[in-house]
Amino acid sequence: MTQAPRPFTLAVAEADLADLKARLARTRLPDQAPTPAGQPWAYGTSVDYLSDLIGHWREGFDWRAQEAALNAFPQYQVHLHGIDLHYLHVPGKGPAPTPLLLMHGWPGSVYEFLDIIPRLTDPAAFGGDPRDAFTVIAPSLPGYGLSFAPGQKRFGIQDIADCLAHLMTGVLGFPRFAAQGGDWGGFTASCLGATHPEKLIGIHINLLAVRRDASLFAGALSEEEQRYRSEMEHWLKEETGYQWIQGTRPQTLAAALADSPAGLAAWIAEKFHAWTDNDGRIESAVSRDRMLANITLYWFTGCIGASFWPYYARMHGPWPIPDGKTVDVPMGYCQFPREILKPPRSLAARSYTDIRRWTVMQKGGHFAALEQPEALAAEVQAFFRGLRG
């Protein structure tokens, strides 16, 4: 029998805060390898940037303010599929709010959603139509953040999809719901559409679950497909080192990052630098304190090893959209200019058979809800406007 959800409030112990600051004070940084002029991130995280970030984390960052920002939203935990699943459940303000499952990915967390949730739940407060309101359920993905406890079982994307479908229908009682996500959240939304279509009103994503292999490119290619092949080849050569180590030796890397907050910050900040639509400075796209809130949540929960597991499961199991299946529920997509990969619609249509909306955005990157909350909220509202009951 499923237990009833119980209210949750985040409260990190003072002793854990003191331990973090003490560890940061003892940081031993590597030397900076000589880099090409003007390219301090050429070989990974800039040591100068990391040193400055650690100094701010230790002396200027206010964790309690970030903790309070999260606690301003109603939060719950429920024992589900063998773990205590954490989620935000924010009621919509409108005549008939649609339930929306909002999902982050790696190396993200529910901290990505603090600015977009009010726009989705109370559009009238931002000059919008209250009929566009959603009731937002934003879980910490199983194995991530506040949905992690030491020793718990690990989850691949199909497992995550099954767990969240159970949350939405079996626990919260929504017969059908909308889903939105980027990164693994986009993959989970796609997996839900393929394996739980009867529960879905539709899905909106900002990262497509399109396979990344040469079999996509048989026969004559359009100009757009040729562009994507080059983009993908560069990505596979230069940008996937993190996937290989997380997907093959997650436990080894976890030992380093669970013990060193500086190492954890270097590993995650590099992705914020590479994947956001910035001018060379992460902070031109995402505030330093919000990025640190995300990193700090990983630190305090000790979840980094479990957060790697979808990579291991993908490398050692089936693609998240199972062979022979397609996503047949209505789908909407936002293509942000600094997304890690941008497959063309012709390739997406092989996996998604009912593409209703395809929008090329003007600005933003991989962490769309964090970088461009107003633009993403408007797109989500526009897509689901014609699908509401």
3-state secondary structure of 320: coil
Q: Is residue 347 within 8 Å of 228, Cβ to Cβ?
A: yes
Across the strands, what pairs with 139?
A: 87
Q: Which two tokens stand for residue 117?
A: 């949730």
Closest CA to 348 of 340, 304, 356: 356
Q: Exposed (0-12), middle (13-18) or buried (19+): which is 312, by Cβ within 10 Å? A: middle
The catalytic residues are: 183, 312, 366
H-helix or E-strand spanning residue 139: strand 134-139
- Give CA separation, 386 vs 98, 108, 201, 357, in Å: 12, 30, 10, 11
Return the ∠ at Cα 8 (arms to 124 and 104), rounded to 5°: 60
What is the rounded CA–CA span in Å between residue 353 and residue 375? Answer: 25
Closest CA to 340 of 170, 144, 207, 148: 207
Contacts of 54 (CB under 8 A, 6+ apart): 24, 27, 261, 262, 265
